[in-house]
Amino acid sequence: MDLKTLSLLVVGATFAIYIGIAIWAKASSTSEFYVAGKGVPPVLNGMATAADWMSAASFISMAGLIAFLGFTGGAYLMGWTGGYVLMALLLAPYLRKFGKFTVPEFIGDRFYSKAARIVAVIALLVMSITYVIGQMRGVGIAFSNILEVRLEYGLVTGMAVVFIYAVFGGMKGITYTQIAQYVIMIFAYTVPAVFIAIQLTGAPLPQIGLGSTLAGEDTYLLEALDRTLVDLGFAAYTSVAGMSMLNMFLLTLALMIGTAGLPHVIIRFFTVPRVRDARKSAGWALVFIGILYTTAPAVGAMAMYNLIKTVQPGEIGDPQGNLVIDERPDWMLRWERTGLLEWEDKNDDGRLQYYNDANPEFAEMAREEFGWEGSEFTRIDRDIMVLANPQIANLPNWVIALVAAGGIAAALSTAAGLLLAIASAISHDLLKGVFMPKISEKRELLAGRVAMGAAILFAGYLGLNPPGFAAEVVALAFGLAAASLFPTLMMGIFVKRMNREGAIAGMLAGLISTLLYIFLYKGWFFFPGTNVFPDTAEYWLFGINPTGFGVIGAVLNFVVAYLVMKVTKAPPEHIQHLVEDVRVPRVGTGS
């Protein structure tokens, strides 16, 4: 059976599972739509949380970024896993004890203000829409690979699937769908990684293979990769290059506190029966997440090694050492049809050269000694690396099809969670909580589903022209969460003197400053060509990359909130007692 047919069958089978679960678990009340009736067991909730959190950025894009960034790509690993620990320890149990459906509802009640709730909704919508753009791009890439069509057509297909199973199932349907998606996702990620680790190093586990010698050789995999990249004019894979230590620190911290402030993940802890179950869910989720995150560095390194060895099978500089264009493998032809892999024979020698022509000394040497006229890969989209990796390694078609299904599962699982957060913010927090308090449950459910549909269309449109690769777009969303919601949640739980004026001023300061900085370098609502300054280090304020600016926004949030709190009156006594009650365990209740 050919690869395209097999991929369609495997992906079609997974869709049947997702849609069947959504129909079986269709939400019939607002409690089931928003928090699955608060009846999900901790282990299952931990699995669903892992799927919700491990998005297209984790499955499709992170290893691709690590493949091209090398050591500095570790910032994504450290930030996303560390942030989950912060969330589990500092936020999840307390918010579950508070007992509300959504993060804006907590902020509105804690700060006794509809205005605070509206500002929280705005922050949530901006962050969630930015985040879902990365997911829609991931969905589009996966579908375009399977169908062998342009990215635009794959994106439209993915939007239709998301609409069917997310809009009707609500949190109840999404929860059980995400459990199935996690199982598919983790098998799809680890099985090819094991195959490739054995193929390259003989080690049965990719985590071990990353530090092992190449099969039949005395050279370590990372040593061989370092040497090959340096020979092609790139920085060594294991060197700190491509990102300053300041930006690596800021990006890691922004991802950490941004993770802890993600509404669509926090809401998962409202779905368990008791507060202690929220803590157990967090522990299980970290275990399930760790399986993929400890595998990703090996996937990135092995994908880069296989890519270079495909293009440069012979000695570097040898006129016969590069891949013959007319003999390029099927995996290249497949990705060329998507528009995500492009090349140009610049010196008309009938072979492909891949090297760092941005390095002027190496480029000049390559021109004089090798006759190369520039790197002939004009586009290698980083987001294709994980999906292309088993194809490059010539693994069986069923493994390639499984990876495609896993990539779609990763993107769909997080997209569904984000869309639910958007829907609940609009229908529950704005309509019912502020503008239409007497709205019926039926109309509230309808409003939530309409909001989901509109968000899918908007995110799909922006997904065609994102401001970066999937992981980079997601990093921007995490920066927005770090600057706006995380500080407010922390102060709402641990600073009983914090009042509504301080919370509102802090959220606005963090959100506006971070949005402004992103738009200066990325463009207004990510439309191409609308950025004020070039998105390069020499133009960044104090050299701070927009992906790490969320930390600065968070500091502004804390400072402004504190200063405003000091010059305004304290919150009412019952609010201060409420804050104390949320932090103090109740004896014998499992809180």
Tens digit of pLDDT for each residue in 94-111?
Answer: 877 776 667 888 898 899
CA–CA distance, 178 with 14 (Å, rounded to integer): 12
Residue pair 547/244 in contact by the 8 Å Cβ criterion? no
- Structural domain includes residue 516: yes
Q: What is the mean pLDDT of residues 249-253?
A: 91
Give the pLDDT of residue 150. Answer: 81
- Structural domain includes residue 590: no
- Kindly report which listed range (166-175, 228-237, 283-292) carries the lowest average pLDDT score: 166-175
pLDDT band at 367 (very low <50, low <70, confident <90, very high): very high
CA–CA distance, 545 with 565 (Å, rounded to integer): 31
CA–CA distance, 226 with 67 (Å, rounded to integer): 12
- Structural domain includes residue 90: yes
Angle at 304 between CA 390 and CA 409, to 5 degrees: 45
Structural tokens at position 35: 């928090």
Structural tokens at position 187: 């098998």
- Kindly report which listed range (22-36, 265-279, 492-506, 537-551) carries the lowest average pLDDT score: 22-36
Q: What is the mean pLDDT of residues 333-353?
A: 90
Radius of gyration of the chain (CA): 24
Q: Considering its fold, how many domains does the chain have in total?
A: 1
What CATH number is given to the structural domain containing 568? 1.20.1730.10
pTM: 0.79
Give pairs for 41-45: CB < 8 Å, separation 24+. Answer: 41/272, 41/277, 42/272, 42/277, 42/280, 42/281, 42/284, 43/280, 43/284, 44/175, 44/176, 44/179, 45/175, 45/268, 45/269, 45/271, 45/272, 45/277, 45/281, 45/284, 45/285
Residue pair 249/76 in contact by the 8 Å Cβ criterion? no
Give the pLDDT of residue 226. Answer: 93
CA–CA distance, 104 with 51 (Å, rounded to integer): 23
Strands 341-343 and 323-324: unpaired
Of 220-229, 439-448, 471-480, give the range with the top mean pLDDT.
220-229
Of 75-79, 121-125, 568-572, give the range with the top mean pLDDT.
568-572
Angle at 257 between CA 256 and CA 258, to 5 degrees: 90
Interhelix angle 470-494/74-86, nearest 10 degrees: 30
CA–CA distance, 254 with 243 (Å, rounded to integer): 15
- Structural domain includes residue 107: yes
pLDDT digits (tens, 9 = 90+) for 346-362: 999 999 999 998 899 99
Stated as kind and residue range, the H or E segment containing 416 is helix 397-424
- Structural domain includes residue 310: no
- Kindly report which listed range (252-256, 387-391, 422-426) carries the lowest average pLDDT score: 422-426
- Structural domain includes residue 322: no
- Structural domain includes residue 314: no
pLDDT digits (tens, 9 = 90+) for 426-468: 877 777 777 788 888 778 778 877 887 887 787 777 777 666 5
Residue pair 570/511 in contact by the 8 Å Cβ criterion? no
Model confidence at 135: pLDDT above 60: yes
pLDDT band at 588 (very low <50, low <70, confident <90, very high): very low
pLDDT digits (tens, 9 = 90+) for 10-19: 877 877 777 7
Domain of 518, in residue numbers? 3-303+391-464+472-583
- Structural domain includes residue 336: no
